[in-house]
Amino acid sequence: MDFGLSDEQELLQSTVRGFVENECPAGRLRELFDAGTGHDDALWTGLVEMGLPGLTIPEEYGGAGMEILDLALVCEVLGTGGVPSPFLGHVLASLALDMGGSPAQKSRWLPGLADGSRRATWALCEAGSGWEPETWHCRWAEDSISGTKLYVPHADGADLLVVGVEGSRLAVVDTAGAGVRIENLEGIDRSRPVFRVDFEGAPCELLADDPAVARRLRDAGLVLLAADAFGAASHLIDLAVEYAKTREQFGQKIAQFQAVKHQLARLGLDIEPTRALFWHAAYAVDHLPEEAERAAALAKAHITDRGLEVARAVVELHGGLGFTWECDVQMGFKRLMFDRAFLGNPESLRDRCAALAGW
């Protein structure tokens, strides 16, 4: 069995990495965040020109027809650069429409999502319940929904929302329609602003009456967050290595001290082996449905746990500078905090895996 990437996948990552390195330096991120925005239309246009919004959308609707692993490889690079983009919510909303939409719904919405002319995101979390499909209480009746969703990423720029509703179902809502109110929430990660969305009899269209669609959507989201966290943690290690090569103490670069060398090596050993976790989880979501829920939950739990430990160590290595606004490290730290909390923290994910195992 070949556990490596194909030539096409390596080219995909290389292309996205080149774009991120050229178009998304840390200085530009600070300018965006100082301006109070969590996205940049020019960055989104660049992602669209590479065909990334339609990566998993079938070719008949203008997409590339690729798999979750390909999305994960892109998310890894976006996490490395801390890219402020609605990409995650957009591709997952597109996935929901592809999995659960009728032929008419797919024909109406997927082409615009594939070419980036329309944006979408997903809305799952509710106060007092959480992220799990079986806990959703947003009410639907005939062709409308009512309720409140929290922590909806990039809702302010979305044309469509894929909303989790009671009965473990999904519905599609046009944000320009009546009965939709969007309110900004204070979040830790400025690259991914989150919103509260209230629905008061908002017109909607239900997707397939199949709870498996909602569960697969959740599992795909866990995988992509794990990949993002892996990229963010790997980048923080690179920053720590570069800092150690330039910071002088006691008359020499601190990278010359054996204790610092050992610390940096341990950080690499904490993160690099976890790459296989999100690769396997991505493959499972596409090809091994009996393993997908457990693999996705454990990948996200373990990678975000290890990633945040790496982030803390990198901040400490930088000393008092590490969490200042002027230091790049704080952006990766906050991105990892978002990845750890969104769709469930490691403790809740491990509890779910234990329940699946009958423990």
pLDDT over 60 (residue 126): yes
Model confidence band, residue 2 (pLDDT cutoffs 50, 70, 90): low
pLDDT in tens, 346-358: 999 999 999 988 8
Q: So what's the pLDDT on residue 104?
A: 97
In a domain, 344, yes or no: yes
Kindly report the average pLDDT of the chain as a whole number.
Answer: 93
Task: Report the C-alpha gap between 58 and 64 in whole angstroms.
Answer: 6
Look at residues 210, 244, 269 and tell me which one is the last residue of a structural domain: 210
Is 132 in the same domain as 12? Answer: no
Report, as an integer, the average pLDDT of 52-76: 97
> Residue 304 in contact with residue 339, Cβ under 8 Å?
yes
Report, as an integer, the average pLDDT of 199-228: 96
Look at residues 190, 210, 230 and tell me which one is the last residue of a structural domain: 210
Task: Report the C-alpha gap between 309 and 205 in whole angstroms.
Answer: 42
Instruction: Report how far Cα 350 is from the mean position of its chain's Cα atoms.
Output: 19
Q: So what's the pLDDT on residue 29?
A: 86
Report, as an integer, the average pLDDT of 79-108: 97
253 or 297: which carries more pLDDT confidence? 297
Report, as an integer, the average pLDDT of 290-303: 97
158 or 141: which carries more pLDDT confidence? 158
Task: Report the C-alpha gap between 102 and 119 in whole angstroms.
Answer: 19
Is 140 in the same domain as 260? Answer: no
> Residue 126 in contact with residue 150, Cβ under 8 Å?
yes
Is 57 in the same domain as 156? Answer: no
pLDDT over 60 (residue 1): no
Is 196 in the same domain as 219? Answer: no
Helix or strand run (H / E) with residue 138: none
Task: Report the C-alpha gap between 315 and 245 in whole angstroms.
Answer: 16
Model confidence band, residue 38 (pLDDT cutoffs 50, 70, 90): low
Q: So what's the pLDDT on residue 253?
A: 85
Report, as an integer, the average pLDDT of 329-338: 95
* Helices and strands (DSSP H and E) totals, the chain: 12, 10
Residues ≥6 apart with Cβ < 8 Å to 215? 133, 168, 293
Task: Report the C-alpha gap between 34 and 316 in whole angstroms.
Answer: 25
Does residue 193 come out as left (phi exceeding 0), alpha (psi in the -120 to 50 range) or beta?
beta
User: In this structure, what CATH number is given to the domain that contains residue 137?
Assistant: 2.40.110.10
Is 238 in the same domain as 300? Answer: yes
> Residue 55 in contact with residue 63, Cβ under 8 Å?
yes
Q: So what's the pLDDT on residue 91?
A: 98
Report, as an integer, the average pLDDT of 227-233: 98
Model confidence band, residue 325 (pLDDT cutoffs 50, 70, 90): confident
pLDDT over 80 (residue 37): no
Report, as an integer, the average pLDDT of 295-324: 94
User: In this structure, what CATH number is given to the domain that contains residue 70?
Assistant: 1.10.540.10
For residue 253, what are the domain limits?
A: 212-356
Report, as an integer, the average pLDDT of 178-183: 97
pLDDT over 80 (residue 148): yes
Task: Report the C-alpha gap between 328 and 29 in whole angstroms.
Answer: 10
Percent of the residues in the chain that have a pLDDT greater than 70, as a whole number: 99
Q: So what's the pLDDT on residue 25?
A: 86
